[in-house]
């Protein structure tokens, strides 16, 4: 069974530039999460989707971050404009509806300089 | 604001010893509790879940939960160098969607 796929794996951008990360969850998983993990900290939820609807985006900095999951499968997370403090690993995760075992992707490492 | 607290460590133990990792949480409504292991540069992977007070054993791992004290722990028996990683505690409140809140993790070093 294929795992959660993410791309790109690594990205270096200058502050005020934009970046987009893509995620394809495990087949059949209705629930998709985007987490931000800053070095030395635990993952922080940015947004949770159930199919193509948003369940929780209370911690998403909406002035600069956006996410979509238009067809209820893959998802894109965008940052525009990026700040230095956005340097982190962006983890996509998924689970089946009603499930409580989250499967994480390998992450997209962002460095903002 | 739900909080999950862990000592960042590092916790250093010799090979073969018992490693004890601790976690406290602020939300009394929390009903499910998880331990994830994260190797350096890798993504977290689930190793244990526990839902009721008491102990739950899985191989060398034992999770312990005390809801009255809002405390959950993970014991690793016969620690191996391959257990060296960061251990993340995650807590989910009851009902609704599964949205775990993670602690910052405890770094464990098992030295030969």
Q: How far apart are the C-alpha atoms of A20 and A7, rounded to whole Å?
A: 9
B105 closest CB neighbour out of A42, A50, A91: A42
Beta bridge partners of A33: A48, A93
pLDDT in tens, B35-79: 999 999 999 999 999 999 999 999 999 999 999 999 999 999 999
pLDDT in tens, A29-63: 999 999 999 999 999 999 999 998 999 999 999 99
Contact A48 B49 (CB under 8 A): no
Nearest residue in A to B10, CA atom: A40
**Interface contact B95, partner A, CB < 8 A:** no
pLDDT in tens, A74-100: 999 999 999 999 999 999 999 988 777
Looking at every residue in chain B, the average pLDDT score rounds to 93
User: Which of A74-83 are b and which e, b meaning 16 or more Cβ less than 10 Å from the residue's Cβ?
Assistant: ebebebeebe
> What is the model's pLDDT at position B95?
60
Burial status of residue A57 (CB atoms within 10 A of its CB: 0-12, 13-18, 19 or more)? middle
Q: Given pLDDT bands bounded at 50, 70 and 90, which one contains residue B98?
A: confident
Structure tokens at A100: 């409580």
Q: How far apart are the C-alpha atoms of B87 and B84, rounded to whole Å?
A: 9
């Amino acid at each position: 069974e294929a795992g959660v796929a993410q791309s790109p794996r690594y990205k270096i951008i200058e502050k005020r530039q934009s970046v987009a990360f893509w995620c394809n969850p495990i087949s059949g998983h209705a629930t998709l999460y985007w987490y931000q993990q800053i070095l030395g900290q635990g993952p922080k939820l940015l947004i949770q989707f159930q199919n193509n609807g948003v369940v929780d985006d209370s911690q998403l900095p909406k002035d600069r971050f956006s996410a979509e999951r238009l067809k209820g499968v893959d998802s894109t997370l965008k940052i525009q404009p990026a700040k230095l403090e956005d340097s982190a690993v962006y983890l996509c995760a998924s689970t089946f509806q009603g499930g409580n075992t989250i499967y994480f992707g390998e992450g997209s490492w962002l460095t903002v300089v | 604001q739900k909080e999950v607290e862990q000592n960042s460590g590092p916790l250093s133990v010799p090979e073969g010893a018992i490693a004890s990792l601790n976690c406290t949480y602020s939300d009394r409504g929390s009903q499910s509790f998880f331990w994830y292991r994260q190797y350096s540069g890798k993504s977290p992977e689930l190793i244990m879940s526990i839902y009721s007070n008491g102990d739950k054993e899985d191989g060398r791992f034992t999770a312990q939960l005390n809801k009255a004290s809002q405390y959950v722990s993970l014991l690793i028996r016969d620690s191996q160098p391959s257990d060296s990683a960061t251990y993340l505690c995650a807590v989910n409140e009851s009902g609704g969607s599964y949205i775990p809140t993670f602690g910052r993790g405890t770094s464990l070093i098992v030295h030969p």
